[in-house]
Amino acid sequence: MANINDSTVNAPIQKKQLLKQLPPPLYAVKFLNDNATTFDFVVWILVDVFQQDFVFADQFAQEVHMTGSALIGAYTSDVAKTKVQRVHDKALLEGFPLQCEIEPLI
């Protein structure tokens, strides 16, 4: 017969094992519309940084333009931050104010 103390001794180990099994939290990357970044540049960014095909990139850029913002995808924290930094770096090099944001997904 198991002693009640046996389950409490194993509780921290079980919790650690459970946390190891959980997937990492995801973060959404959101594009924001502005009046200076060209449509073609946004499409190019979507193809280059987010590996989207041209048709999807064109439709997504239209959505950002019409609604003011749109979520491109959900990524782990490091991947989301890297993609946003790449977008900002490329926009800066081309002289565009294109902005992306990271939002935690719940």
Is 98 part of a structural domain of the chain?
yes
Is 9 part of a structural domain of the chain?
no
Is 83 part of a structural domain of the chain?
yes
Is 77 part of a structural domain of the chain?
yes
Question: For position 29, which CATH number holds?
Answer: 3.30.1390.10
Is 18 part of a structural domain of the chain?
no
Is 27 part of a structural domain of the chain?
yes
State which residues form the domain around 48. 23-104
Nearest-angstrom CA–CA distance, 86 and 49: 7
Nearest-angstrom CA–CA distance, 15 and 36: 50
Residue 9 has pLDDT above 60, yes or no: no
What value does the mean pLDDT take over residues 1-11? 55
pLDDT in tens, 52-101: 999 999 999 999 999 999 999 999 999 999 999 999 999 999 999 999 99
pLDDT in tens, 12-43: 667 777 667 888 999 999 999 999 999 999 99
Is 7 part of a structural domain of the chain?
no
Domain count, the chain: 1
Nearest-angstrom CA–CA distance, 101 and 106: 16
Of 48, 75, 70, 49, give the one whose Cα is nearest residue 59: 70
pLDDT for position 14: 73
| Other CB atoms within 10 A of residue 77 CB | 13
